[in-house]
Amino acid sequence: MKGTKVIFDNDKLHYSSELMRALAHPLRLKILEFIDENQSINVNKIYSNLDIEQSITSQHLKILRMSGVLSVEVTGKWHVYYINYDVINKVEKAITRFKNKNLA
């Protein structure tokens, strides 16, 4: 039996791994849940309500932004964060497909 050659798209693989990394952290999930409850919110309210240091909050928000999970709108000195639900929906569909494929 011949081996099957697998070809990976390195860009997609890198993006997928960064996206999974962004969503695999409990504090980032807590931040996403808080933003989801408020629809959009500025960084000051995130760290003060979740009782997280500002610098740590900013680091986690950067990872979520770079993965495409969050969008930010800068208005003056305010950074208002929004969840990119299109990305979240794509992740959910991909995980469901993977799960169904491996359970079959």
- Choose between 25 and 99: higher pLDDT: 25
CATH architecture for residues 10-103: Orthogonal Bundle (1.10)
3-state secondary structure of 52: coil
Contacting residues for 81 by C-beta, under 8 A, at least 6 apart = 35, 40, 41, 42, 43, 46, 61, 65, 70, 71, 72
Helices 43-50, 26-38: axis angle to 10 degrees equals 120
| Backbone phi and psi for residue 42, each to the nearest 5 degrees, phi listed first | -90, 160
Domain boundaries, the chain: 10-103
Give per-residue pLDDT as tens, 13-71. Answer: 788 888 888 999 999 999 999 999 999 899 999 999 999 999 999 999 999 999 999 99
| Residues 36/83, Cβ–Cβ less than 8 Å | yes
